[in-house]
Structure 1
């Protein structure tokens, strides 16, 4: 499962547009929109500090949250956010309404483990990561925090495909027409050492 759910307090925005957005930001608030689930979009304002902390904590885009809008609790999944390109503060967030039955599309990060158990990497090979995340169609309640790739036993020239990764129950890749590559182990520019260092201890 992904990061633990959290709750944010929000207030509705009566006025929308650049002028009112600038005014919100001056007051420490971020303009945001909740949309989806066959309901009209809802314009809200959130605490800049709280949202920025959640974004920097990691897992923001894969964690279902609850937004308390004037007492009404709405389950959402962040779908997009904009950062100021110069000052790096959050300018706007889009949230998608979700229910327990909602199917969502999310980009889930890929983590690699057991690099020390890969003969190819021990011999000087290089892990060439083709995809740092994978887009999945998955239940909103079962979004994984990350996907794990086990590098044990992999040699130079080996490739890891999506079919090699254990996906959560009910999750399917967005790309379905091919067994796409996640990473490969390639020879370094100078070639691979004849014998991996530390092989004797293994």
Structure 2
């Protein structure tokens, strides 16, 4: 499974430091840095609309971006994001450079499918997603976009585990627990207030 690349257009920044970063923001762009793989850091600036577009996509932490700025082209992961404390607008982004053959840790989102036909859910069971994301070690050329958990066959008290997921080929979970649980179908919940209200009535009925 080849890693899907998402292109991002950026511009190069000549200077580092707070003053240069503020100047970049005044120009309507977000300062960012590409680091890692034993190479010098590259300073770039990105349109904030591009960043927000990617943040609104599910599973962005495992998306691989191909950033192009001038004569620079790098494959990266979006690692850290700083936001303005009032406006919540992005004010700085850290990208980790990917190097072929050097595995990386990524968080991959879990997609649930089959809820509408699950026997347990149809009988009133409640789907409990234990892990919405899973951290794994993967080769940069084989980073999955999502893992898929199929709950269509689950009855009450059944579960989906790591070995049941789709899309895990070639990656290793960092969780050391063997075949850990991803999602379960729990028994129907009982309204506590209704139960307490019914208790005195049941007691009276027994006295008759």
Question: Which residue pairs with 1:10 in the alignment?
Answer: 11
Q: Is the contact between residue 28 and residue 49 of structure 1 (CA under 8 Å) also seen in structure 2?
A: no
Q: Quote the offset at 1:168 in angstroms.
A: 3.3
Distance in structure 2 (CA, Å) of the matches to 1:106 and 1:116: 30
Name 1:97's counterpart in structure 2.
Answer: 97
What value does the CA root-mean-square deviation take over the aligned residues? 2.1
Give, in whole Å, the separation in 1 of the partners of 2:154 and 2:58: 29
Match of 1:195 in 2: none
DSSP 3-state at the match of 1:170: coil
Please give the alpha-carbon distance, in whole angstroms, between the structure 2 residues aligned to 1:167 and 1:91.
34
Larger % of helix: which?
2
| Contact 1:135 1:174 (C-alpha < 8 Å) held by counterparts | yes
Q: CA deviation at 1:4?
A: 4.4
- State the distance in 2 between where 1:132 and 1:47 align: 29
Aligned to 1:53: 53
Matched, 1:117 2:117: yes
Stretches of structure 2 that go unaligned for 5 or more consecutive residues are: 192-208
Closer/same/farther in 2, CA of residues 13 and 165 from structure 1, 3 Å limit: same
Match of residue 146 from structure 1: 146
Q: Which has the larger radius of gyration?
A: 2
Please report the TM-score for the alignment, with normalisation by the length of structure 1.
0.83
TM superposition score normalised by structure 2: 0.81
Paired residues in the alignment total 190
